[in-house]
Amino acid sequence: MTEQAQQARALLSLREVTRRFGGLVAVDRLSFEVPEGGVFSVIGPNGAGKTTAFNLISGLVPPSDGQLLFRGASIVGTKPYELARLGLARTFQNIRLFGAATVWENVAVASALRAPTGFVQAMWRLAGFEASRKAQEAAALEWLDFVGLSSLRNELARNLAYGQQRRLEIARALATRPSLLLLDEPAAGMNPRETEDLVELIGRIRALGLTVLLIEHDMPLIMRLSDRIAVMNFGHKIAEGTPAEIQANPEVIKAYLGDGEEG
Amino acid sequence: MPLTLRKPLLLGILLVLPALLLSLPQGEYQLDVAMTVLLYVALALGLNVTVGLAGLLDLGYVAFFGLGAYATAILMHGGPAEAAAAGGWSYWMAVPAAVAVAGFAGLLIGLPTLRLRGDYLAIVTLAFGQIAKLTENNWDALTNGPQGMEVAKPVLFGLELRAGWQLYYILLLFVLLTWWSVRNLNNSAIGRAWVAIREDEIAAASTGVNVPRIKLLAFVMGASIAGLAGSFFAVKQGFVSPPSFDFIETVTILAMVVLGGIGSLPGVVLGAAMLAALPELLRSMPTLLGLEGQFDVTPYRMLLYGAAMVVVMALRPEGLLPDAHRRAELHPHEDRPESIPGREEARA
C-alpha cells in the first residue's frame, strides 16, 4: 500500500506534533497514523509523554507545533466538546467521574450529545422534550448494560468500586457515540480478574467497529489486544509495528523492557 | 429526607403558608410580609440556578434585580411624582421587557467573565453590582438619581390593581412559574450538564458538554429571574431608588440559598421563606406570646437572626432541605439521590 493510500484511510494522524512545557519537551515531533478499526496502542516508560500525547489529541492541551488530523481535517484548536461531537471520546488515567451524580446520570450527560434537549424546550416541557429525555435515558441504560453496571444505575458514582468506576468512565465515553475511543491506562490499579474483564470489554468495543487508542503499562494486555503499537521514550517515538515486531525490536527492549526479559 | 416527603412539603410552603397568611385578618402588614417572603423566594430560586446548580458564584446578583426594577419604572414612564404615568407602557408589556433587559445584561456580563473560575468570577460580578448601583445613583436623566422614581400600579382590564391581595396573586403566579421552570430545567439534560460542570469541568467538556454555553445559560437564567422579581418589586413598592439594590441584598439572598440547601429547590424556597419572615416574626413575637409591652425584642432582632443562621449551619451544614447530590458530598454514606424516572420501563 502506498503511503498516500494509508493516510487516506487513517482515522487520526499526528504529524510532527511537539509540545513544550517551559524548557521541557514532553512530546517531540511525534508522528503516527491510527487506521480505522482495531486497537492501536501507545506504550513507553513513565514520563515518556504518552499522557501528554493523549491530552494533545483530546484538545485539553494545544500543541506547540505540528498537525493533528481527524478524518483528514485539522483538529488543532478544536475544543474538547467539539471533538466529542466529531466522534472522539476519552477516559482519564486518574478517573474523572461526576462523583456526586448517580451512575446513570453520569452516562446520561454523555448520551445528551446525540439526543440534545433545547433550553426552552426543557424549561417549559415543549414538544420534543419527552422524546429527547427518553432517548437519553434509554441510551444511558443501554451503555450501562454494555459494561455490566445497569444494576448499579442508581448508586452514586463515587461509591462504586475502583474497577466499576473505570467501566463507568468507559460507558460514559461510549455514550457520546465516538468513532475513536481513547483509553488512558484503563487497567491501572486493577486486579487480574478485573483486567480479564477489561480485555473482554475492549474486545466487544472493538467488535462494535470502534477504533481504540490505548495507553497502557500492562505489557501482556497490550500484546494480546493491540493490532499495532507505537513506542515512546523521552517524548520521541522510537518504534512502531505489530506486537510481534515490537517484542523483537532491540531498541524497544533496550529502552522499555531494559533487561530484555519478555513480559 | 425521602422524595415522597419533599413534594408535599414544598406544596405546603407554596400553597398552605400563603393561604394561612391570607386567612389572617387581611392587614396590609401581613400581606406585605407575605409578598416580601415570596419576592425573596423568587430571588433565591434565581440565584440558586447560578450558584447552586451551575456553581458560579455571582456576587452582583442584585444588580439584575435592580435592572428589572429600573427597566419597568422607565418603560412605564415612571419618574418624579408629578411626571409619572403619562403614556408609559402597560405593566404587562414592561414585565417581559424587564426580564429581557436583565437577561441580556446577564449575557453581556457572562460572555467575557464566565471563562474565569471561582474567586475571579466573584470579584468581577461584585464589581458589576457596584457599577450598576453607581449608575442608577448618578444617571439623573434616566433614573432620577438618588431621588428615585415613582412607578404606577399595574392595570388589568381598566382596573388599577392597588390592593395588596391583588398584587399578591400576581407575585404568586410569577413565583410558581419560576419554580416550575427551574424545576423542569433541573430535571433535564440541562440540569445534568450543570451538575457535570460543577463536579468536573474537564470531564464534562470531554463528554461533549458545551461548557461555556451551559454556564452562560445558568447565568442568564438567574439574571432573568432576578429581572422578573425586580419588575414586580417596582410596581409593588410604587417606587424605585438605588438603596434597594445594595450589595447586602445579594449576601442575604446567598444566605437563603446556602441555609436552605444549595442546589435544592424545596430547600431554597424554605431558606428564603425562613430568613425573609424571621425578622418580622421576631418583631411580633412579644405580641404572639402575650407579652406585649413587657419587653422589646426589636434591638435584639438581628442578633437572634444571626444566631439562628449560625445554629442552622452548625447543625445542618448541607442546609435545611439539602439537594441529594450535595448531601452526598457531606454525608457520603447516607441515602441516595432519587432514582431514574424510567426505571420501571427499563426493568420490564
Q: Which residues of A touch B332 (CB under 8 A)?
A: 156, 158-159
Closest chain A CA to residue B179 = A123
Which residues of chain B are at the A interface, by a Cβ-Cβ cutoff of 8 Å? 181, 184-185, 188-193, 195-196, 199-200, 202-211, 217, 325-326, 328-329, 332, 336-337, 339-343, 346
What is the Cα B116 distance to its own chain's centre? 24
Q: Is the pLDDT of residue B16 over 70?
A: no
Chain centroid to CA B188: 21
Taking an 8 Å cut-off on Cβ atoms, the answer to whether B340 and A125 are in contact is: no
Judge whether A54 is closer than 8 Å to chain B, CB to CB. Answer: no
Which pTM value belongs to this model?
0.87
Cα distances from B285 to residues A118, A142, B55, B202, B311, in angstroms, run 48, 58, 37, 51, 19
Nearest CA in chain A to B216: A119
Residues of B in contact with A176 (CB under 8 A): 207-208
Contacting residues of A for B192, CB less than 8 Å apart: 101, 105, 108-109, 112
Nearest CA in chain B to A171: B207
Rounded to an integer, the average pLDDT of B261-265 is 87
Q: Quick one: pLDDT at residue B301?
A: 73
Q: Would you call A79 an interface residue with chain B, using a CB distance cutoff of 8 Å?
A: yes
Tens digits of residue pLDDT in B275-322: 888 878 777 777 767 666 666 666 777 787 788 878 887 888 778 888
Q: Which of B213, B193, B205, B221 is nearest to A136 (CA)?
A: B193
Least Cα distance to B197 among B113, B265, B114 occurs for B114
Instruction: Give the closest-approach CA distance of A257 to chain B in angstroms.
Output: 33
Residue the block writes with cell 435592572: B67
Cβ contact A20:A26 at 8 Å: yes
Strand partners, A239: A231
- Alpha-carbon distance B60 to B66, whole Å? 10
Lowest mean pLDDT among A98-102, B119-123, B127-131, B194-198: B119-123
Alpha-carbon gap, residue A154 to A190, rounded angstroms: 24
Pairing of the two strands A88-90 and A180-184: parallel
CA–CA dist A91, A21 (Å, integer): 23
- pLDDT reported for residue B12: 63
Record: contact A100-B195, CB cut-off 8 A = yes
Q: Does pLDDT of B329 surpass 70?
A: no
- Is any Cβ of chain B less than 8 angstroms from the Cβ of A136? yes
Report the alpha-carbon distance of residue B14 to residue B114 in Å, rounded.
Answer: 33
Residue in B181, B156, B182 with CA at minimum distance from that of residue B167: B156
CA angle A77, A184, A223 (to 5 degrees): 125
Which residues in chain A are contacts of B347 at CB distance < 8 A?
Answer: none
- pLDDT value, residue B72: 94
Show residues of chain B in contact with A165, CB under 8 Å.
none
- Asked whether residue A31 carries a pLDDT value surpassing 70, the answer given is yes
User: Residue A82 forms beta bridges with which residues?
Assistant: none
Average pLDDT, chain A: 91
Q: List beta partners, residue B337.
A: none
What distance in Å separates residue A33's CA from the closest CA in chain B?
A: 22
Mean pLDDT over B126-155 rounds to: 89
Kindly state the helix (H) or strand (E) to which residue A28 belongs, with its residue range. strand A24-35
Q: Does A229 score more than 50 pLDDT?
A: yes
DSSP string, B31-62: HHHHHHHHHHHHHHHHHIIIIIIS----TTHH
Chain B residues with CB-CB distance to A125 below 8 A: 184
DSSP state of A159: G
Q: CA separation (Å) from B14 to A160, B19, B184, B229?
A: 38, 9, 17, 16
Query: Across the interface, do A124 and B340 touch by the CB < 8 Å criterion?
Result: no
The minimal CB distance from B217 to the residues A102, A119, A155 is found for A119
Q: Where are the alpha helices (DSSP H) in chain B?
A: 3-11, 17-23, 28-47, 61-75, 91-113, 119-138, 140-143, 164-186, 189-199, 201-206, 211-237, 247-261, 265-288, 301-315, 324-330, 343-347
Give bridge partners of residue A88 from the DSSP assignment. Answer: A180
- Give residue A63's region: left, alpha or beta (phi > 0; psi -120 to 50): beta
In angstroms, the CA B191 to CA A103 distance is 15
Provide DSSP, B261-310.
HTT-HHHHHHHHHHHHHHHHHHHHHHHHTT-TTT---GGGHHHHHHHHHH
Q: pLDDT per residue over B88-110, tens digit each? A: 788 899 999 999 999 999 999 99
Residue A232 pairs in a beta bridge with A237
Closest CB from A90, A112, A117 relative to B206: A90
Decide: helix, strand or coil at residue A6.
helix
Answer for the pair B281, B304: CB distance below 8 angstroms, yes or no: no
Neighbours of B50 (CB within 10 A): 28
Q: Does position B25 have pLDDT exceeding 50, yes or no?
A: no
Task: Answer whether A110's CB lies under 8 Å from A80's CB.
Answer: no
Sort out which chain B residues have CB atoms less than 8 A from A112's CB and list them: 189, 192-193, 208
For residue A33, the cross-strand partners are A13
**Interface contact B207-A113, CB threshold 8 A:** yes
How many beta-carbon pairs below 8 A join chains A and B? 131
Instruction: For residue B210, list chain A residues with Cβ-Cβ distance below 8 A.
Output: 81
User: Given a cut of 80, is residue A168 above it in pLDDT?
Assistant: yes
Name, in order, each residue with C-beta under 8 angstroms of A200's C-beta and a sequence gap of 6 or more: none
What's the whole-number mean pLDDT along residues A147-161? 94
What ipTM does this complex have? 0.92
Alpha-carbon gap, residue A170 to A187, rounded angstroms: 12
